A and B are shown apart, each in its own frame.
Chain A
Amino acid sequence: MSRVDAALKASGQSRYVADFALPDMAHAAVARSAMAHARIVSIDTRAALASPGVIAVFTAQDVSPIPYGRALIDTPLLARDKVRFVGERVAAVVAATRQQAEHAAAMVEIDYEPLDAVFTPSEALAPGAPAIHEQPWAYKGAGAKQGDPINLIHRATHGSKEEVDAALAAAAFVVEHHYATQGVHQGYLEPQACIAHFISEDEVQIWLTTKAPYRVREMVGTCVEIDPKKIELQSITLGGDFGGKGSPQDAPLCTELSRKTGRPVKMTLRYSEDLTATNPRHPAEIDLRIGADKEGRIVAASMVAHLNAGAYGAFTPNVPAPHGAVEIPSYRVPLLYSEANRVYTNTVPRGNMRAPGAPQGIFALESAMDELALVIGIEPAELRRRNLLVTGEADASHVHWIEHRGLETLEAALAAVEPVAAPPGWLYGRGIAIYSRSTTSMASTSLRLTPYDDGCLRVETPLIETGTGSHTVLRQMLSDQLGFATTKIEIVGVSTNDLPRDAGAGASRVTAGLAAVVDVAAKAWMNRARDEAIVVEVNEDSGVDVGSYTVQVAQVAVDPGTGQMRLLELLNAVDVAKIINPLAFQMQIDGGATMGVGFATLEDLDEADGQVWAANMGEYKLPSARDVPVYKTVKVPGAIGLGTANVKNIGESTTPPVAAAIANAVFDATRCRIRDLPITAEKIYQAMKGQQ
């Protein structure tokens, strides 16, 4: 039986935020900063106000002065006094139609006094760098203290640098390299959109392209000073997230605009605004040193990352070291120093994107593992074999997973891979990379089950269907546990007013979270009074860590005359427990890998001088059906999963290792090492020329 929403989606009946209209609804568009860093001298809104259809024009002084954010509260609704990146919201126009609002927004005249700007972490941390925020330590949730470098958002460290330096100095083999990754976008195909309807201080309704309605409700309420319980976030099918839609987006602004104009206000971004002014993935600079003894066993490692967080830190993930971009999740590292610096720059603010930090960090780590193997003189797979964690060992952050199945997964991958022929005249190469990701369920969600007279079951869930198939998985789990046929179960997404809680989709734990609430629901269902609806919830604040390993093998061909690289095949070996829905599971593997392929070889926001030059999809290339390789999957069954459902994570497993697998394969083919992404034909060509 297919997905719960398959027919609706394929026939165009599924409704997304952009498809909704309310009676008397007005439309908003914003005027954005053309400057990377400048004082706002004046804003002339007269021409915009006189433009046809315009209802009102707002600047910072007209809206709530309270900033918003997730961990760090630093983002204004509209720029006050100064702008900090090209694309920042400066003024908002409300008009009768979307076209009229956009037309008028282009007529807002902003007079600037330019300020010195910094675009990279090294520029931003240099002595004498201009302050992007005058008192960054004063923001709620600030991680930096007065006296820290002015543009440092947060520095997380783990371990002792001195001990690691000493161990590396004494190591038989050491590699030390610098790796860099570019800015890339989540690339969901549904532009961000919002409708806010401020009815009264006690009733606000919001339709938003979000995967985390309860969290958004809190953030909107705090920003516009309305009790979050009075704000209702509707449950709307989401047109792709990948980490890009966990923030409140333009909901706080639209709420203010609705409050001021007395009408429902809708704002839908043009995709160029998504690319240039939302929260894409951090570009990273990573310095990595790994030392090994004579037998090729890692003795120490140092991993230092500088993450370009852009002009606001509100939605940059605040993970502690040694996680995120400085994670070494799969190997035994007796001594580890890691340091992650998140730095303000005058560029677009960054946020979460599928496995935050890991695609950058794993590119560096898994490239460096191959570089270390070369220095030692052993096969890349053999180096990994000697260093993969085994069950019973703690990882570098001292966490014990239930089990480690890296070795089995590696052997399964190597056993399954079959060489694919390169075109005549092309060089052939093969590369491997490993990633492992832990998940705790930390379930926090709720459900209402209502029996119908005809023997069907209505199931209400606050969980947003982001596209992963979560509603289908929920139906299947309920069917298994309660004995209803899937055809007799109706899954209905409901608003934040209808059920008490949901943590939002993310961190690869949706299925595990659903499994936990379904367990509770099954028990409550058995004990219920006849024909009564039941509401159940779970809200765990801790959980057991299970890890899931992914071993990738990339096979590439390189045209020695042009540097052009073709990804012939990408094999994913994944360590699995029980799979609830094989097709949905497979699509997470293939889709995650495809996003990794884009990151590795194609996608680039092409940032320079504070501008995102790849500002439309003609320039920002997502992989198409003919850009993707043949995918092969090997499942390594028998793992211990979470809860009675015995499930593990998959959504973020196959994206991070792709870039290193390809870089390692390119090296195998050409003996050229590419340490900065994306891996383009030109980089390979120049490296090969340099070698001659």
Chain B
Amino acid sequence: MSWTVPLTDIVITEGDRRAVAECLEGGWLTMGPRTQRFEAALAEWTGAPHAVAVSSATAALHLACRALDLGPGDEVIVPALTFIATANAPRYTGARPVLCDVESPERPNLSAAAVERCLTAHTRAVIAVHFCGYPADLGPLRELCDMREIALLEDAAQAIGAEVEPGRQAGTVGALGCLSFFSRTQLCMGEGGAVLTADAELATRVRSLRSHAMTSGTWDRHTGHEVSYDVVDVGYNFRLDEPRAALGLARLPRLRGDIERRRAAVLRYREVLVSTPGLTLMWTDADVARSSHFAFAVLFESGEERRRVQEALVERGIQTTRYPVLHTFTELAPLAASGSLPAAEAAADRHLVLPLSSHRDDTVDLVAGAVRDVLGRG
């Protein structure tokens, strides 16, 4: 079943394909020169001193938690409205995620005030999520974390290239920042992710744990630099491989343009939808200017209205999605009672993510028109 307008549409160019083909023809598929070049290019592009390519953003978050030595007895504050991996990453280390409310349904990122209410003697870190690519307000969060001597991590899986502080990109403000290269993200390569950090020691730790904490890699041994290895910690196989690094390298130079095209599409959506009865735009114009636009979401008056619109759009071949609030999942239900995090719950219930791609602004008017039409018939 194919959609008239899919949620997102990925175009892999001829040049992208050539880069992957050259890598495959070369026959070296594992952590090697392309991964090194991709990491260097990503560090330069984001402005992060260190970039470590990994197998997914989930892996990036897990490694970030390990790098900070989180473990049993520790608490990590995460927003209740995010992808499940944000809350699972502390759990992989034995730490406990604490679900925190967001600022408001219109700006559903962590607020320092809400975080402050979740702090306990066991809090070791806060993971700020830049939901849909819109920067969380990191200034007050950083101040709070610094004051309490806890770590601020950025889950920037949806926010590569967003400006979170003047001149600072998503993932470069916190102690560690995590990026995603999953197939729907702005810089997609299938499965993939990266950890950004300014701290050389944390970068070394992440790099080590990414590949089983071995003191030398296959490439070092292949090139004759090392003859054997020790294993100095319990690490993982969270490596990226060379074909994906090649794809990332080929796509990175176009990323800024892709983000700007996404922003233009979002601005057009907002122009058409701004005074639609029954619909509320999320975020402010200033937020839009700083976002990297992973996704475009709007709010309806209630969950029922959202469901009605979603079903009507399905009828028209328009694909949409939404993020459930984490404590509605069976697995995380014990973490918060229903009704205890009202802004996140309302945002989750009322929002709907509309189609957005880097290259298809022709569909924006069609989708926005359909939404207006459905609401007009309510």
Indicate whether A and B interact: no
